[in-house]
Structure 1
Amino acid sequence: MIGRRSLVAAAIAAALALGGCTTPAVEGGAGEEALHDRLLALETGSWGYVRDRDQAAMRAFVADDVLLIFGDGSRYDKEQYVASLADQTLSDLRIWNSRVIPITPDVATLTYRVRYTSAVKQAKPEIVRAEVTSTYVRRGGQWMSVIYQETPFK
């Protein structure tokens, strides 16, 4: 069992350690709203790249070290995902309940719910409903997608 003195010492050590951490990208208000709107616009645009099978635009949107994880457990790196666009169809896209979580001035996560109809090659189209977590980093002044993950829901 942890004694009160040990617990207080641990709390003080944690507070001192966190004191040197980078401040969040924005702390509420208009800055956070602008960040949300910017990342949501980028994310919505990326869905358009999938719909249009625009490999060049998708290649520019995702970072070289991106990892994409889908609700079926499939994982893609940048080149795998960009190549897969040629075989995908996407329709009936709806995004709602979006929220931004600023992490540092150059890192933020966008969460939202999405519903879309998708098929790969000539497979029967499936309706997907997922909670999405999409993390962005700002490199060279440009926001880029580095992690995308879907968690299905009913």
Structure 2
Amino acid sequence: MSGSTVIAAGATNASSDKASRAGDVGATLINLEKQSWVAWKAHDGAYFSSFLSDDHVDVSARGATDKANVVAGVAGPFCSVESYAVDGFQVTRLSQDAALLVYHAQQKTTCAGVPVPSPAWVSSLYIKRGGRWLNAVFQQTPTK
């Protein structure tokens, strides 16, 4: 993939300014993503209101939805997160203002009493607008 930089979590390369900048972005995005899981468990809709881009798309087994529905779903009692674990983060810098975060997630979560498929591979696409990184697309793909 021409023009992209892939950084695995914890990877460093002191001899390359480009890798260092990509690593800084990677650490920022991984931190934002981890904070989103804390907010998800805590039903913190306010976090998601500022974390998601206004044109955010969330894709799941039920289809695609928008920011308003995600924020309402997180804040409401519909889902209950008992526990979760996230690891194996990889960041691909697509441009100065776009990066893709891919990682593995496991969760013990139910929505309306139905278990959420777990484990899953997660893709989170971030865009930089107004000097802030925002989550524009989120998708989980259950693993076998």
Amino acid at match of 1:141: G
Amino acid at match of 1:82: V
- Select 2:36's aligned residue among 46, 63, 79: 46
Q: Which runs of 5+ in 1 are unaligned?
A: 1-17
Identity %: 25
Distance in structure 2 (CA, Å) of the matches to 1:97 and 1:25: 16
Distance in structure 1 (CA, Å) of the matches to 2:53 and 2:117: 27
1:106 aligns with 2:97: yes
CA distances 1:9-55 after superposition (whole Å, capped 9, x unpaired): xxxxxxxxx9xxxx658985222221111100000111111111011
Contact 2:117 2:142 in 1 (8 A): no
Distance in structure 1 (CA, Å) of the matches to 2:92 and 2:85: 21
Say which one has the larger Rg. 1
Q: What does residue 70 of structure 2 align with?
A: 81
Q: What does residue 143 of structure 1 align with?
A: 133
- Higher strand proportion (structure 1 or 2): 2
TM-score, L = length of structure 1: 0.77
Deviation at 1:74, TM superposition (A): 2.9
Deviation at 1:119, TM superposition (A): 1.0
CA RMSD of aligned residues (A): 2.1
- Higher helix proportion (structure 1 or 2): 1
Q: Secondary structure at the match of 1:128?
A: coil
Shifted more, 86-95 versus 128-137: the winner is: 86-95
Aligned residues: 131
Q: Which runs of 5+ in 2 are unaligned?
A: 7-16
Deviation at 1:90, TM superposition (A): 1.1
1:120 aligns with 2:120: no
1:68 aligns with 2:58: yes
TM-score, L = length of structure 2: 0.82
